[in-house]
């Protein structure tokens, strides 16, 4: 079997178990001879293989364009493309969170996307103003609460979770994670640094436990009575409630009386060093349209980025909400400000 075909069968994330080592993208470089040839598309994706492969298989079936998929962590994929430089086999880079997309763009990794089709399909606030990347799906980062110990009328906004009545009742994921960096960046954009810092300090004072590594751990803490409220990405809630339909827990859409609930995206851009830019563009355009939008979002309990597509039945049960219309490029721009602010507020 050729090296190209062997690599096509496995994602980067599956290699450690095969090799018996912890794989770092810097340890085993993929050379052009190892990658798919120029008639195929190579996608580096931070979205997991089970989410992306069915979609890419459909794209291949409909267009005849074969796709080789590699998966890995956002940061590691960015560093890999940087280290490979002009010799990278990657054509498309898919990331989770506007912060990661913005960082990749600022590193000069993306080609500008020239596509009236994408501009018509994806709202402007979900695209980079310079069209270096576009959203493909939306998730909300909002409040989750115990339905046994909290009434929804007690909730209103992210800032309100800093009120005294939530002392010892709040659980959060680590401030080091990009999802919370982006949330705090949006707060800075809307309220200014002073007010955002006060809110974060109030959160820290109300914590029932040390910040967790994962959103799923925040929800487990709520279900085990360690805390009553938290902040999570909506798709993590979808995963949990599917596994545990009887869970006494619900989502509350934050900031409905003001800026709207903070949203973020998974998205993609065309790699500047791609040898297949037209085919890469065709993939992004295909992913922005109806069939792909529905499947892409449903697989991970997310909302379609194309507003012409309705959310899945499962998401519809959570109720409609007003989403923040802040351009996510601003969220990416303010990431470092958010990091410094959280350090000052002692939110680790």
What share of the chain has pLDDT > 70, as a percent? 89
pLDDT at 45: 97
Q: What is the pTM of this model?
A: 0.86
**Lowest-confidence range among 14-23, 99-108, 180-189?**
14-23
pLDDT at 140: 97
Is 235 assigned a ligand-binding role in the annotation? yes
Q: What is the band of 299 on the pLDDT scale with cuts at 50, 70, 90?
A: confident
**Looking at the predicted structure, is the pLDDT value of residue 1 above 70?**
no
Give the helix, strand, coil percentages of the chain, each rounded to 5.
45, 15, 35
Taking the alpha carbons at both ends of the chain, their separation in whole angstroms is 48
pLDDT at 20: 31
Q: pLDDT tens digits, residue range 20-72?
A: 323 333 323 333 333 444 568 999 999 989 889 999 999 999 999 999 999 99
Q: What is the mean pLDDT of residues 289-308?
A: 89
Angle at 96 between CA 91 and CA 98, to 5 degrees: 95
Q: What is the band of 298 on the pLDDT scale with cuts at 50, 70, 90?
A: confident
pLDDT at 66: 96
Q: How many CB atoms lie within 10 A of CB 18?
A: 9
**Looking at the predicted structure, is the pLDDT value of residue 323 above 50?**
yes
CB–CB of 307/107 below 8 Å?
no
Q: 3-137+265-310 belongs to which homologous superfamily?
A: Periplasmic binding protein-like II (3.40.190.10)
> Distance between alpha carbon 50 and the CA centroid of its chain, in Å?
16
pLDDT at 80: 97
pLDDT at 39: 63
pLDDT at 216: 97
Q: pLDDT tens digits, residue range 223-276?
A: 999 999 999 999 999 999 999 999 999 999 999 999 999 999 999 999 999 999
Q: What is the band of 294 on the pLDDT scale with cuts at 50, 70, 90?
A: confident
User: Coil, strand or helix: which one is 97?
Assistant: coil
Distance (Å, whole) CA 342 – CA 338: 6
Domain with CATH 3.40.190.10 in the chain: 3-137+265-310, 139-262+321-344
Query: What is the architecture, at CATH level 2, of domain 139-262+321-344?
Result: 3-Layer(aba) Sandwich (3.40)
Q: What is the band of 113 on the pLDDT scale with cuts at 50, 70, 90?
A: very high
Is 347 assigned a ligand-binding role in the annotation? no
């Amino acid at each position: 079997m050729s090296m190209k075909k062997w690599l096509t069968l496995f994602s980067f994330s599956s290699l450690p178990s095969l090799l018996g080592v912890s794989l770092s993208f810097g340890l085993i470089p993929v050379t052009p001879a190892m990658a798919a040839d120029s008639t195929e598309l190579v996608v580096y994706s931070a979205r997991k293989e089970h989410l992306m492969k069915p979609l890419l298989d459909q794209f291949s079936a409909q267009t005849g364009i074969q796709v080789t998929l590699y998966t890995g962590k956002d940061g590691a994929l960015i560093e890999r493309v940087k280290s490979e430089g002009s010799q990278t086999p990657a054509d498309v880079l898919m990331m989770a969170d506007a912060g990661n997309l913005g960082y990749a763009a600022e590193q000069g990794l993306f080609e500008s996307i020239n596509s009236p089709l994408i501009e018509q399909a994806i709202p402007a606030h979900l695209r980079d103003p310079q069209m270096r990347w576009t959203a493909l799906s939306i998730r909300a980062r909002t409040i989750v609460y115990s339905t046994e110990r909290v009434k929804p009328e007690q909730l209103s906004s992210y800032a309100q979770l800093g009120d005294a009545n939530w002392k010892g009742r709040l659980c959060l994921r680590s401030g080091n994670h990009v999802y919370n960096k982006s949330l705090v960046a949006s707060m800075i954009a809307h309220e200014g640094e002073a007010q955002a810092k006060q809110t974060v300090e109030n959160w820290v004072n109300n914590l029932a436990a040390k910040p967790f590594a994962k959103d799923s751990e925040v929800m487990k803490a709520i279900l085990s009575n360690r805390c009553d409220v938290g902040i999570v990405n909506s798709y993590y809630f979808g995963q949990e409630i599917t596994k545990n339909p009887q869970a006494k827990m619900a989502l509350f859409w934050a900031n409905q009386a003001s800026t709207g609930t903070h949203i973020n995206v998974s998205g993609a851009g065309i790699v500047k060093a791609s040898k297949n830019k037209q085919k890469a563009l065709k993939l992004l355009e295909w992913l922005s349209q109806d069939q792909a939008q529905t499947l892409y979002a449903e697989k991970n309990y997310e909302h379609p980025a194309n507003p012409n597509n309705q959310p899945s039945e499962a998401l519809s049960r959570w109720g409609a909400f007003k989403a923040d219309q802040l351009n996510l490029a601003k969220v990416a721009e303010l990431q470092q400000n958010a990091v410094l602010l959280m350090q000052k507020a002692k939110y680790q």
